[in-house]
DNA sequence: AGCATAAGTGCAGTTCCTGCAAATATGCAG
DNA sequence: CTGCATATTTGCAGGAACTGCACTTATGCT
């Protein structure tokens, strides 16, 4: 087995990989189209399969479950670059910085904008899928807790001075997640008309207003 | 059909109703016991049925789904009394008041404490059930948004002065939900050792600390 | 062209869940 | 106590999601 060989089979645009990607896309396209037409619960995987001309077994090889075909195809993880910026930033509060970080990583839009929006709409009108999407996001929460802790440590805070530092980090992430859910919901409700930047700005402003109405120190 | 008759059949402790409640309880007991023993995904409804000596069809008559048997049996809606107090209160900020309101309504413990804790533990160690529980809670969010808006109006705020008042209410609820998820997670992690009051106090204190570290007005 | 590997398929079987109709239990009237 | 209306439980047939396994087909080298 030569180096050539290795290079060829692992290259991301071999015939095989391109074909795989194309099949994957056509299945998702069919699934979303059928979903918007008949509603999620009235679409069977057999329908998706005949529409995209594959066997049910292949469908499950690709997506693992019926819901899987409607899941976000993004990794949604911030780049190392962004992570460092967040950890070492001191410009603004954790809340705003983390909110922006997550927003940026969510907004790396699908290659296909049309499909992306169709998918969003379907998810929006299907509570079951909406819940799944939410839990997918919250699975990353532990990662973000780690980032926040790194940032705290970078600022010189530690467990000796603040015994419940981990709790504080968890709560920050939980609060930001709440704000994020609000923002995303508003985004789909507005039919994606606002830019992510505006959205972030508006939400931040609202948070500030709420905070200033509390009797907090 | 006499009034006597009507009174008897609708009374909540007729033989029928008591029997129903007993069956319901015994099914749940069996399901949770099996869940803790084998893990949620390795429990089939047939197993639950033979353990509680009913037919599968009856199981679905009672709970509608396998997950249903593990769902919280509480309504988790605040009483009218509490609602009014929240709407008309002016002591503290919305955030703290809403957080307390929701916490109180969640904590009306099950009649059977042992079963309640067993259920909590099982949910805690079963991501799928945990997510379901979360979405069940978030279905009440619209109700809470209504409460917050009522409170705003009671304080003399309205859409004329604040066009995005509804957005503000939604965001408040989203933020409180985040804090609530944190608190509940901590509660199960601590094995229910802290009292709900402590939990609320600790979480509030953390929120205040976080807020004071932000550069908010 | 031949061959190793990857991708796709067929099929049998499990589990969750539903509709429908039949069997059974309950509680009241007479 | 007996019968009757109503509530509860059950059996059965079947649909849909999903998995494991063995088998065929396609791909990309040499």
A44 touches strand D (CB under 7 A): yes
CATH for the B3-66 domain, from 1.10.10.60, 3.40.50.12280, 1.25.60.10, 3.40.190.10? 1.10.10.60
Place of tokens 């904590």: B107
A136: confidence class by pLDDT, cuts 50, 70, 90? confident
Nucleic strand D within 7 A of Cβ B54: yes
pLDDT for the residue numbered A1: 34
Lowest mean pLDDT among A43-47, A129-133, B54-58: A129-133
For the ranges A4-18, A197-211, B61-75, B201-215, which has the lowest average pLDDT? A4-18
Please check the confidence at residue A83 and state whether its pLDDT lies above 90. Answer: yes
> Residue A3: what pLDDT?
32
The reply to whether B61 Cβ lies less than 7 angstroms from strand D is: yes
pLDDT above 70 covers a percentage of chain B that reads 90
In this model, does residue A2 exceed pLDDT 70?
A: no
The more confidently predicted of residues A14 and A66 is A66
User: Percent of chain A scored above 70 by pLDDT?
Assistant: 90
Other C-beta atoms closer than 10 Å to the C-beta of A200 total 21
B110 Cβ within 7 A of any nucleic strand C atom? no
pLDDT at A111 over 70: no
Q: Determine the distance in angstroms separating the CA of B48 from the nearest CA of chain A, rounded to an integer.
A: 25
> Which residues of chain B lie closer than 8 angstroms to A216, CB-CB?
93, 207-208, 211-212
Q: From the list B93, B174, B210, which residue is nearest A179 (CB)?
A: B174
Rounded distance in angstroms from the CA atom of residue B60 to the C1' atom of nucleotide C26: 22
A46 CA to C14 C1' in angstroms comes to 19
State the pLDDT at residue A209.
93
Do the beta carbons of residue A123 and residue A130 sit within 8 Å?
yes
CA pair distance B162, A101, nearest whole angstrom: 29
pLDDT of B120-171, one tens digit each? 889 989 988 988 888 887 888 999 999 999 999 999 999 999 999 999 999 9
Of the candidate CATH numbers 3.40.30.160, 3.10.180.10, 1.10.10.60, 3.30.565.10, the domain formed by A3-69 belongs to 1.10.10.60
The pair of structure tokens assigned to B87 is 């709407």
Please check whether strand D approaches the CB of A67 to within 7 Å. Answer: yes
A64-93 average pLDDT score = 89
Of A164, A185, A208, the CB nearest to B217: A208
Whether A199 and B196 have beta carbons less than 8 Å apart is answered as: no
The reply to whether residue B214 touches residue A94, judged by beta carbons under 8 angstroms, is yes
Domain spans, chain B = 3-66, 80-213
**pLDDT at residue A6 is higher than 60:** no
pLDDT-derived band at A10, boundaries 50, 70, 90: very low
Scanning residues 103 through 162 of protein chain A, those with a beta carbon under 7 Å from any atom of strand D turn out to be none
Give residue-wise pLDDT tens across range B44-88: 999 999 999 999 999 999 999 999 999 988 766 888 999 999 999
d(C-alpha B50, C-alpha B52), whole Å: 5
pLDDT at A59: 98
Whether the Cβ atoms of residue A76 and residue A137 lie closer than 8 Å to each other? yes
Token pair 């910085």: residue: A97
The pLDDT score that the predictor gives to residue B154 is 96
Quick one: DSSP state of residue A12? T
Q: Confidence class of residue B108 from pLDDT cuts 50, 70 and 90?
A: low
Which residue did the predictor score with more confidence, A102 or B109? A102
Task: Flag whether pLDDT at B10 surpasses 60.
Answer: no
pLDDT, position A8: 37
pLDDT at residue A102 above 80?
A: yes
Cα A134 to Cα A72, A176, A185, distances in angstroms: 11, 13, 11
Confidence of residue B7 (pLDDT cuts 50, 70, 90): very low
Mean pLDDT of A57-71: 97
Integer CA distances (angstroms), B39 to A42, A72, B31, B42, B44, in order: 31, 29, 10, 6, 10
Q: Which ranges of A139-193 would DSSP assign to H, the alpha helix?
A: 141-154, 165-189
Residue A110's pLDDT band (cuts 50, 70, 90): low
Instruction: Output the CA torsion A129→A132→A137→A142 (10° steps).
Output: 180
Distance CA A180, CA A177 (A): 5
What's the full length of chain A, in residues? Answer: 217
- Tens digits of per-residue pLDDT, A162-214? 999 999 999 999 999 999 989 988 887 887 788 888 988 999 999 999 998 88
Q: Which pLDDT does position A51 carry in this prediction?
A: 97
Residues of B in contact with A185 (CB under 8 A): 170
pLDDT at A194: 86
Cβ of A1 near strand D (distance < 7 A): yes
CA distance to A106, A111, B19, B151, per residue, from B28 (Å): 40, 47, 14, 39
Q: Which of B152, B201, B214 to mutate to test the interface with A (most CBs of A within 10 A)?
A: B214
CA B69 to CA B73: how far, in whole Å? 9
Q: Answer whether CATH 1.10.10 is correct for domain A80-213.
A: no
**Do A171 and B182 count as a contact with CB atoms less than 8 A apart?**
yes
Residue B115 per-residue DSSP state? H
On the 0-12 / 13-18 / 19+ scale of CB atoms within 10 A, A16 is: exposed
What is the rounded average pLDDT for all residues in chain A?
87
How far is Cα A155 from Cα A149, in angstroms, rounded to an integer?
10
pLDDT at position B85, please? 96
Can you tell me the mean pLDDT for A3-18? 55
CA distance A71 to A142: 20
Q: Is the confidence at residue B203, as pLDDT, over 90?
A: yes
Task: Kindly report, residue by residue over B161-187, the tens digit of the pLDDT.
Answer: 999 999 999 999 999 999 998 998 888
| Rg of chain A on CA atoms, in Å | 21
Query: Do residues A115 and A74 lie in contact, with contact meaning Cβ atoms separated by under 8 Å?
Result: no
Are A168 and B94 inside 8 Å of each other by CB? no
Q: Which of A174, A203, A215 sits opposite B93 (nearest CB)?
A: A215
Greatest mean pLDDT range, A18-27, A97-106, B74-83: A18-27
- Can you give the pLDDT at residue B130? 87
């Amino acid at each position: 087995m030569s180096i050539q060989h290795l290079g060829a089979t692992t290259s991301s645009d071999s015939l095989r990989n391109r074909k795989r990607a194309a099949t994957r896309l056509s299945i998702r396209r069919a699934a979303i189209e059928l979903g918007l037409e008949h509603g999620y619960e009235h679409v069977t995987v057999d329908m998706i399969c005949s529409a995209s001309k594959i066997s049910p077994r292949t469908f499950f090889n690709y997506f693992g479950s019926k819901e899987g075909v409607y899941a976000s195809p993004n990794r949604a993880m911030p780049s190392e670059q962004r992570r460092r910026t967040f950890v070492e930033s001191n410009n603004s509060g954790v809340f705003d910085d983390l909110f922006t970080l997550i927003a940026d990583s969510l907004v790396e839009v699908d290659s296909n904008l049309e499909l992306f929006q169709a998918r969003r709409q379907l998810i929006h009108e299907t509570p079951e899928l909406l819940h799944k999407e939410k839990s997918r996001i919250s699975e990353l929460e532990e990662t973000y807790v780690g980032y926040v802790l790194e940032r705290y440590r970078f600022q010189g805070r530690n467990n000796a001075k603040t015994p419940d530092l981990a709790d504080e980090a968890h709560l920050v992430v939980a609060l930001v997640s709440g704000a994020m859910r609000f923002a995303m919901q508003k985004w789909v409700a507005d039919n994606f008309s606002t830019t992510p930047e505006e959205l972030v700005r508006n939400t931040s402003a609202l948070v500030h207003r709420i905070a200033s109405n509390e009797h907090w120190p």
